[in-house]
Each structure stands twice: as structure tokens, then as C-alpha cells.
């Protein structure tokens, strides 16, 4: 069998983003952690880590991490059958990559019951879809919620439904920029809010209205900050309707074109051999998502 | 004078986190951008970039970037005096590093008037305090809101006031974990929520109650996700009271120990020679912060 002390050292260095923190978590000296990584590399016959800041796994390192992640989940199942062991063990920590808007809206309510009954602690990583799947492939996370359907090797993807986005702005912003109505030309001239370089929702919304080319926008990489900026009248932007029920009801935010929305489908990626814990979470997510997400509109 | 075409290429590669995007933004081919960086390095006599993913400035590269940032702000002042030029120019983009909780609460309302009247677009970067100041030192941002007081060389820091954090949980969570009252021992046993590896607020809260050692916690690197998790009953955690006025008023979240809070002071870091635009924003922030932040409690 593999030497899991060595593999645990690799996992800790990557998960803790450094040798120093890994040593703390493992209760070892930093040089002991280094030793273990070197020994692992001697056995494997090639480097498992790129010594950068933070340290990154090599191709072979990624495969080893993926294996560690799956072994951890299988160990957990076994512990369930050996109650004596279970009493001693700390709560399980499940590392999940998730898109920011899911975390800002439906995720917490969907997982509370599961976490409480299974004694699971969530270790959430906020990532856009491609990076989330890369972490999945690297074995750094046990699951991933994102808009990409295609699973990585060894994993399954489950359609959860779609988040519905609406183009919103504050009444004052609308009065200032759309006094003669929300025309495509007026929208293209008014400052928008964009979550980050990978957020194409505002571009897509304008393109569907026939507007092409550049437009002015604020960059705000925070779901809550995005809503606060729209509410304060800094710009217009596409916001999950789940996130702003109160703001819409009270009129603090207004739908620019109520007949238009963009549905972003969401998928739950999880390991095929992820053990019972991951299977339980998958069932729970499927049930919960059905009550909060929408059926994606045909495109 | 310096060749600003070369410096602009350096700034674009760092700001866009790659040669490809830099080329797009500059309207050049990727090889032309590479050429410019090489030419700059030939003139400087040493590398200005570490060719990693993403490319990072070297020590000398950082100094050049810092200079570019300041020149841009000074150019802006000049444009204000040459209205002909101004008409042609795109809105100014101001890159600011900010802590997540400020962005989730007071920032948008504090800057709306300024952005609208000065035609400024915000390019926000969410960073914890040390990283935010590093970006400041590297000349990547024009300003930074964080909890560290000490300015980097060439910059000033202005005390804005403090964010008041309270330990909150849902009524159901309280019923489950604190049926015999919120004792330090019960708090240490109940799962907490922690924003990320650098968030020590929960540790500090427990330490002030005399609890030391490890405790179980969920990791949730999202301000809004943090509140949703507390509200759903996944754990208890320290939340800015500014962020949860409605949740507290409606009883969806409850203060665990109303007589206890943690005040985190906030500072606005900005370049000493940042030009009129940055000076205007500084005045605006000072005024706005005084109305929403608190005077830090003596420690």
C-alpha cells in the first residue's frame, strides 16, 4: 500500500497553501513536512510539487491528491460502521468549490440539515466554473457547483436547475439614465456593473438586445457588493432574483426589462466513487435545488 | 522621459494577469506586447516581470508600476484643465483594494455620488489587509481599505472608524446548542463559521471569553454566504452589524452575547501625490464613513 503519511503531507501543503501552515495542521516541524515530500518524490521518481507561492501540484501530484480525496471519503464510510472509531473522530470536513452567487443565495439553507445530522463541516472555496472544475480534477475538492455540464474524469454531473438573473437598477439610476425608456442605446451608454473579467452576463444581455462593442462598467467581485452598488445607483447589472426578493418587493431595485431574463443552469459535480457521505449530500442538493432553482428557459 | 508605451505594456500585463489579455486591451498583438516588455528590460538592465501564471512584477517592476499609477492620476488632473481632451476620454477607472465586509456594507453608498459626478468607474479587488497593502506597494491599486494602519512608502493612511462585529446565530441554532445559556464551554462546542484562514475574529471572541484551543468551524469565504449560513443555522459567527440590520430586527439572527462586540478599525490608504481625483475620493470617504462606522471601543 501507499505510504499515507507522505500523501497526507502533500495534501496538507496544497490545501494549506504552504509548508508552514501544513506543518501546523499536521503537528510536525516544517522540515519534517519537507522530508516527507522529498521522500514521496524519491518513491514516485519525479517532482510532485512546484515550489512556488503557493505550492502547486505537478501532473502526477494532482493524480495523487485526487486519490487522497477519494480515500478520505471511503474511510469515512468505514468509520460509520465502526462506531468506536467514530466517537473519537473530529467532524468530517468536506471541501466544495462553488460559484459566488449560489453561496450568496440557496446553498446554506440547502445544506443545513445535512451538515447537522452528518456532523459535517463545510470548507467552501468560491470559484468560477472553470477553476472549480480544475480543482475537482486536481482532487482538491470533493464536489463543485458550477455552470459547466461536462464532468471531469471519474466524476458525475447532476443538473440542479437554473439561477434566473434579471437586469436591475435603482429608481434614481433609472430616472437619470432612462428618462426616455430603457432602449438598447440608453443601456449601452449607462454604466454597468460586472462581477469580474469572466462575467459575461451583462455582455450577453446587451448582445441579445442587439448592442455590440464596448461599454463602461464597474468591476465588483462580490455578490453582496454587486447588489449594494446597484442599490446605491452606481450602475445596472444582472442579479440572481433569488438574492433580491426584498429589494424588488420594496422597490429599492427595479427590473429594467421585466420580460427579459437570463437563466444560468447549474450542475453538481461529485466523485463517482465518493462514498455514502457524498451520495447523501447529492440527494439533499437535488431535493433542495428543485424548490429554489428554475427550469432553464429554452434558448 | 520614460517611454510610456513600454510602461503601459508592463501595467497591462500585470493588471490583466497575462500577455493575451494585455494585448487585447492594448489593441496589439501578443508578440508586440512581449517585444515592449523585452525592450523595457533591455533599458532597465534587468527583468521587470517574473514569467509565471499570472506574470508578477519583479522588485524593479513594482517600482515602475507604482510610478505608472501615480502618473495616471496626475494626467487625470491635467485633463480636467483641458476640457477638449476630456470630452474625448473614456471615464477614469480607479482600482481599489477593499476588504470583503466593507464592500458588502457601506462602500457602495459612500462612493455613488463621487463616481457619478466625477465619471469614475470602480475596479474593485477584494483582498485581506496584507494582500491589499502589497498590491498598494506594487502600484497595482490607487487605494486600499483595510484594517492595517501603517501606510506603505509614498502613501498616507486615514482612520475611517471601525466596523462593529457581533456574534450571531439563528434562533434554531441557539435552541439546539445553547439550551442552558451561552456559556464559553457551549460556544467552544458549537460549530462556528470562519471567513477564511486569515479570519481570526471567532478565535479572538472565544479567547476573550477564556476559551483556548481548537474549535470546529465551517469555512465560508463570502460575506453574504457567511450571513446565509448563520441564518440557516449552520453555525455561529461574527458579522458586521451594518450588514444584518434587517435580520436582527426580524429576529432571524440573534446576538449571542449582546454586551460583547469586536470593533475592527478601518483605514483608507492612498498615494500622497495621488492628484485631485484621489483627494476628492478621500474627502468623500471620510465624510461617508463618519456616518456609518463607529468610534472603536478602547481595548
Average pLDDT across chain A, whole number:
88
Site from B124, B239, B243, B244 to mutate, A interface, most A CB atoms within 10 angstroms: B124
Q: B298: pLDDT confidence band, cut at 50, 70 and 90?
A: low
Q: Looking at beta carbons, which residues of chain A come within 8 Å of B108?
A: 225, 228-229, 231-232, 234
Minimal-distance CA residue of chain B relative to A108: B229
Residue in B108, B220, B233 closest to A229 by CB: B108
Which cell goes with A201? 452576463
Please tell me the predicted confidence (pLDDT) of residue B78: 60
Contact between B170 and B193 under an 8 Å Cβ cutoff? The reply is no
- Checking if the pLDDT of B130 tops 80, the result is no
Residues B236-274 have pLDDT tens digits of 999 999 999 999 999 999 999 999 999 999 999 998 877
Please judge whether B221 and A125 are an interchain contact, meaning their C-beta atoms are less than 8 angstroms apart: yes
Average pLDDT across chain B, whole number:
88
Q: How many contacts does A have with B, using Cβ atoms within 8 A?
A: 135
Residues A60-103 have pLDDT tens digits of 888 888 778 777 777 666 655 554 443 345 567 888 999 999 99
Q: Which CB contacts under 8 angstroms, 24+ apart, belong to B173-181?
A: B173/B230, B173/B233, B173/B234, B173/B235, B173/B236, B174/B254, B174/B256, B176/A116, B176/B233, B177/B236, B178/B256
Domain A91-299: CATH architecture, name and number where available: 3-Layer(aba) Sandwich (3.40)
Least confident of A185-194, B14-23, B62-71: B62-71
Alpha-carbon distance B249 to nearest alpha carbon in chain A (angstroms): 14
- Checking if the pLDDT of B131 tops 70, the result is yes
Identify the CATH number of the domain defined by range B163-263: 3.40.190.10
Residue at grid coordinates 495523487: A64
Which cell goes with B242? 451594518
A16 part of contact set with chain B, CB < 8 Å: yes
- Checking if the pLDDT of B158 tops 80, the result is yes
Query: Tell me, what DSSP letter sits at residue B119?
Result: T
Identify the CATH number of the domain defined by range A1-89: 1.10.10.10
pLDDT, mean of residues A223-246: 95
Whole-model pTM: value is: 0.76
Please tell me the predicted confidence (pLDDT) of residue B71: 74
Which cell goes with B291? 456616518
Please tell me the predicted confidence (pLDDT) of residue A85: 41
Query: Tell me, what DSSP letter sits at residue A46?
Result: S
Please tell me the predicted confidence (pLDDT) of residue A126: 92
Please tell me the predicted confidence (pLDDT) of residue B172: 95
What backbone torsions phi and psi does residue B57 show, to the nearest 5 degrees?
A: -70, 145
B219 part of contact set with chain A, CB < 8 Å: yes
Please tell me the predicted confidence (pLDDT) of residue A80: 56
Q: Looking at beta carbons, which residues of chain A come within 8 Å of B21?
A: 197
- Checking if the pLDDT of B96 tops 70, the result is yes
Please tell me the predicted confidence (pLDDT) of residue A98: 96
* Spans of all domains in chain A: 1-89, 91-299
Residues A3-57 have pLDDT tens digits of 778 888 999 998 888 998 888 888 888 898 999 999 999 888 889 999 888 898 8
Q: B289: pLDDT confidence band, cut at 50, 70 and 90?
A: very high
Residues A146-172 have pLDDT tens digits of 999 999 988 999 999 999 999 999 999
Residues A111-132 have pLDDT tens digits of 999 998 888 899 999 987 678 8
Please judge whether B222 and A103 are an interchain contact, meaning their C-beta atoms are less than 8 angstroms apart: yes
Residue in A107, A115, A220 closest to B124 by CB: A220
Please judge whether B103 and A225 are an interchain contact, meaning their C-beta atoms are less than 8 angstroms apart: yes
Amino acid at each position: 500500500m501507499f505510504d499515507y503519511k507522505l500523501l497526507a503531507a502533500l495534501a496538507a501543503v496544497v490545501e494549506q497553501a504552504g509548508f508552514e501552515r501544513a506543518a501546523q495542521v499536521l503537528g510536525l516541524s516544517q522540515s519534517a513536512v519537507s522530508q516527507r515530500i522529498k521522500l514521496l518524490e524519491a518513491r514516485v521518481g519525479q517532482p510532485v510539487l512546484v515550489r512556488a507561492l503557493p505550492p502547486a501540484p505537478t501532473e502526477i501530484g494532482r493524480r495523487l491528491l485526487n486519490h487522497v480525496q477519494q480515500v478520505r471519503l471511503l474511510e469515512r464510510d468505514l468509520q460509520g460502521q465502526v462506531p468506536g472509531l467514530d466517537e473519537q473522530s473530529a467532524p468530517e470536513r468536506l471541501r466544495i468549490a462553488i460559484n459566488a452567487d449560489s453561496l450568496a443565495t440557496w446553498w446554506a439553507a440547502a445544506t443545513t440539515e445535512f451538515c447537522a445530522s452528518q456532523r459535517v463541516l463545510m470548507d467552501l472555496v468560491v470559484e468560477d466554473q472553470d477553476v472549480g472544475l480544475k480543482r475537482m480534477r486536481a482532487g482538491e475538492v470533493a464536489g463543485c457547483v458550477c455552470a459547466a455540464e461536462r464532468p471531469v474524469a471519474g466524476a458525475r454531473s447532476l443538473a440542479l436547475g437554473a439561477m434566473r438573473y434579471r437586469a436591475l437598477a435603482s429608481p434614481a439610476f433609472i430616472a437619470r439614465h432612462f428618462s426616455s425608456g430603457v432602449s438598447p442605446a440608453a443601456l449601452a451608454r449607462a454604466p454597468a456593473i460586472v462581477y469580474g473579467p469572466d462575467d459575461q452576463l451583462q455582455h450577453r444581455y446587451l448582445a441579445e438586445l442587439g448592442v455590440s462593442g464596448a461599454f463602461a462598467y464597474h468591476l465588483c467581485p462580490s455578490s453582496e457588493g454587486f447588489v449594494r452598488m446597484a442599490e446605491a445607483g452606481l450602475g445596472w447589472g444582472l442579479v440572481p432574483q433569488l438574492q433580491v426578493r426584498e429589494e424588488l418587493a420594496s422597490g429599492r431595485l427595479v427590473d429594467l426589462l421585466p420580460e427579459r431574463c437570463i437563466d444560468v443552469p447549474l450542475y453538481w459535480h461529485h466523485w463517482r466513487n465518493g462514498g455514502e457521505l457524498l451520495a447523501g449530500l447529492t440527494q439533499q442538493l437535488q431535493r433542495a435545488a428543485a424548490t429554489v432553482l428554475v427550469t432553464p428557459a429554452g434558448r
